[in-house]
Amino acid sequence: MTERGFETLQIHAGAQPDPATGARQTPIYQTTGYVFRDVEHAAALFDLKEVGFIYSRLTNPTVAVLQERIATLEGGTGAVCCSSGHAAQIMALFPLMQPGCNVVVSSRLYGGTITQFSQTIKRFGWTARFVDFDDTDAIAAAIDDSTRAVFCESIANPEGHLFDIPAIAKVTSKAGLPLIVDNTTATPYLCKPIEMGATLVVHSTTKYMTGNGTVTGGCIVDSGTFDWSASAKFPSLSEPEPAYHGLKFHETFGHMAYVFHGIAVGLRDLGMTMNPQAAHYTLLGLETLSLRMERHVANATRVAEWLENHPAVESVSYAGLASSPQHDLQQRLYPKGASALFCFALKDGYDACVRAVEKLELISHVANLGDSRSLIIHSASTTHRQLDEKQQVAAGAGPNVLRLSIGIETVEDIIADLEQAIS
């Protein structure tokens, strides 16, 4: 279905009427195990000589449809779904890293990701090097012989900062390294990182893909274009795997090597499994993704323009504004819009932010984004509170900054609620 339009693919990709019942909607296959045809069939599945369903920690028919749909929308060769966006980040790095290796990452990231990369991955013997990704020379300088990947967000959480992915991809390609792009905030409707040179794309499907704040989930999409055997840097994919009788994933599976490894080793051993009901909810959400993103962008633009002219507001960081220093980049690489996540700063500082959050009525104080409902959070006291003030400011989450995730409500109602809260 690759020749079909985005709106068609978001509804149909990966799915067929159920062969047993004719059901048009993908069923929730709420099962842990699957009956093998015979002993030889079981052995072939466990040896990775045949593709099929073994156990739902690894594969599930409902999740499989979601994987194919997201991969299709992103223009990838395949995908692996898992339990959350944070799980997707660890899963993405797992086949690439060894103890003593590092990943070069953007300094503009979600606070939880900064903590995961600066603290948690040390327990694997991995390290992260934080760099300003607007400076491609700085990215190149941070890469050394122990670097195994480069990681950024297409649109950074919390401030909505955009990145020049093609420029970053030139650096990683020259270094012979995979570029991993978190495309959660943009979604494939607004941005196609693989077309811009990314190797892998990760998502928190919890956000815009599901769109209704009901389930958590994550996904890793592989472009299928990286040569994992070009160097000795990625032995998990290029060298014999002892758990599968010396099978070499890249030699055996070619452009699907990374995806097969993610399932056969990553999900097998890390167990970060997406449950079939979560996959079902996300499939339902994807059916309206383009419609919702259009409304999200339209509402966000209106709200940002209104905030920019409010006397209590010091600044608004939204690339969709004509006054934004990133507006030209947005028009060039993100022509359908800069999503609906952005920050604004209040002149009266930290206390004014706290008062505003507590006075809001329609807009919910929630540590999430990408919901159909408008959401707000004071990042410095919540999602980024584990960082010191210098780190908060660098991440776009300073003490006087509020993060908005604009929903699809009547935009005049969103503006009225903000007016009564910050005036």
Q: How far apart are CA 283 and CA 367, in angstroms?
A: 23
Res. 33: pLDDT tops 90:
yes
The encoded tokens of residue 17 equal: 């009427």
Q: Which CATH architecture has domain 289-422?
A: Alpha-Beta Complex (3.90)
- Look at residue 373 in the predicted model and tell me its pLDDT: 97
Per the CB < 8 A criterion, the answer to whether 382 and 320 are in contact is: no
Nearest to 292 by CA among 2, 7, 1, 66: 7
pLDDT, averaged across the chain: 95
Count of beta carbons in the 10 Å neighbourhood of residue 103: 25
Q: How far apart are CA 422 and CA 349, in angstroms?
A: 12
334-387 pLDDT, tens digit each: 999 999 999 999 999 989 999 999 999 999 999 899 999 999 999 888 877 777
Q: How far apart are CA 384 and CA 292, in angstroms?
A: 28
44-97 pLDDT, tens digit each: 999 999 999 999 999 999 999 999 999 999 999 999 999 999 999 999 999 999
325-334 pLDDT, tens digit each: 999 999 999 9
For the chain, what is the radius of gyration of the CA atoms?
A: 22
- Look at residue 1 in the predicted model and tell me its pLDDT: 44
- Look at residue 397 in the predicted model and tell me its pLDDT: 80
Q: How far apart are CA 179 and CA 222, in angstroms?
A: 11
- How many H helices and E strands in the chain? 18, 12
Res. 392: pLDDT tops 90:
no
C-alpha to C-alpha distances, 409 to 157, 190, 263, 297, 373, nearest whole angstrom:
22, 20, 39, 12, 7
Res. 261: pLDDT tops 50:
yes
Element containing residue 345 per DSSP (H, E) = strand 341-346
**Alpha helix (H) ranges present in 130-275?**
136-142, 165-175, 187-190, 235-238, 249-253, 257-261, 268-270
Query: pTM of the predicted model, to two decimals?
Result: 0.95
* Residue ranges covered by each domain of the chain: 6-285, 289-422
- Look at residue 233 in the predicted model and tell me its pLDDT: 98
C-alpha to C-alpha distances, 210 to 70, 217, 369, nearest whole angstrom:
12, 9, 11
CATH class of residue range 6-285 = alpha beta
Res. 219: pLDDT tops 90:
yes
- Out of 151-155, 286-290, 370-374, 396-400, which region has the weakest mean confidence (pLDDT)? 396-400
Write phi, then psi, for 146 (nearest 5 degrees).
-95, 0
Q: How far apart are CA 107 and CA 43, in angstroms?
A: 46
Res. 263: pLDDT tops 50:
yes
The band of 3, judged by pLDDT with boundaries at 50, 70 and 90, is confident
229-253 pLDDT, tens digit each: 999 999 999 999 999 999 999 999 9
Write phi, then psi, for 13 (nearest 5 degrees).
-60, 130
Q: How far apart are CA 161 and CA 154, in angstroms?
A: 8
**Alpha helix (H) ranges present in 5-125?**
6-12, 39-46, 61-74, 85-93, 111-118
